Amino acid sequence: MLSIILHPIVVPTISVILYFILVPNGFNANQRMIVLGLIFISTYAIPLTILFLLKRLKLINSFKANTIKERKLPIVLMIFLFYLLGNTIKEIHDLKDISLLFYATTLGLLSIYILFYFQLKTSIHLLSLGITTGFFFAINNVYSANFMVVIISGLLLSGTLASARLNLKAHTPTEVYLGFVLGFICPITVYLFL
């Protein structure tokens, strides 16, 4: 159940909702809904549509894309989608922080794709939670607000989700740990170089 609630296509929207709640900004409720709508469509509706299309074309056997071979094409498509979303968000005044989240996701997915060549099916679930946790860790230095509650919650949720993924035998311990560590490092790396 936790794997469904914290699915990688849901976490970006949750992250941006948390951002809007916790970070002071000049956006009114209407503007926030427009940004959230763009993010939800880009990170939930489009990926889900792509998965349905790939399954219909028999390029994947299930929506879980269990094998490395089945994951390659969806990951490549998501790399481009998240990069474009990062560029689009960056152009909106005062949303550079949120573009960091999507550039970090692009870097994380690119890293996962590279790891396919080492026969590692890194956990995208843990990558997404690691990115959210690392994102709030990175912007913690920018704002006077303290995001330690979000960071600690992210760590605890990640541990719980990692246990769930291991119990489902969806990943090995290495793939789970690697997913979180990569996810946590990506926003910090992008923050330092952006």
Convert the pLDDT of each residue in 33-83 to its tens digit.
Answer: 999 999 999 999 999 999 899 989 988 887 777 788 889 999 999 999 999
Residues 125-134, mean pLDDT to the nearest whole number: 96
Domain housing 133: 2-193
Amino acid at 129: L
User: Percentage helix, strand, coil, to 5, in the chain?
Assistant: 75, 0, 25
**How much is the average pLDDT of 129-145?**
89
Q: Give the three-class secondary structure for 146.
A: coil
| Between 170 and 150, residue with greater pLDDT | 150
Cα 106 from Cα 79, distance rounded (Å):
5
Q: In the chain, what percentage of residues exceed pLDDT 70? A: 100
pLDDT at 93 over 80: no
Total domains present in the chain: 1
Q: How far is residue 166's CA from residue 64's CA, in Å, rounded to a whole number?
A: 15
Cα of first residue to Cα of last residue in the chain, in angstroms, is 36
